Amino acid sequence: MMYPYMTLSDETEIVHSQLIEDKGIKKVIVNFERPTDNGFDSARCELPEYKWTEKEGYSDEEIAFFEKLLHSNAHLLYKYAANGGIKIA
């Protein structure tokens, strides 16, 4: 299951997985997706390794921005992943 996290000004939607345990390591998968004229740009990163498993349509500068965003938000992404997403209202 994927949970919404935030939408950036360029319409990039950021969503994250539930907490996934793999070989004793707790992981969160984070997807970035932006609509284009021909479909979508997309990228996917696995935490805690910050391993990019997909990068299509985003520039190196955009990926670097996403990585900084992930480093500063990882603690929240783990919290929300463990609790079934952000609870609003």
As a whole number, the mean pLDDT across the chain is: 95
Rg, Å, the chain Cα set:
13
Domain ranges of the chain: 2-82
Q: How large is the average pLDDT for residues 7-23?
A: 96
Using the predicted structure, report yes or no on whether residue 21 has a pLDDT greater than 70: yes
Of residues 88 and 66, the one with the higher pLDDT is: 66
Residue 6, token pair as written in the block: 């935030």
Binned at pLDDT 50, 70 and 90, residue 86 comes out as: confident
Predicted TM-score (pTM) of the model is 0.93
Measured distance CA(44)–CA(22) in Å, rounded? 17
Give the model's pLDDT for residue 88: 67
**Most distant CA atoms of the chain, gap in Å:** 41
Measured distance CA(28)–CA(48) in Å, rounded? 7
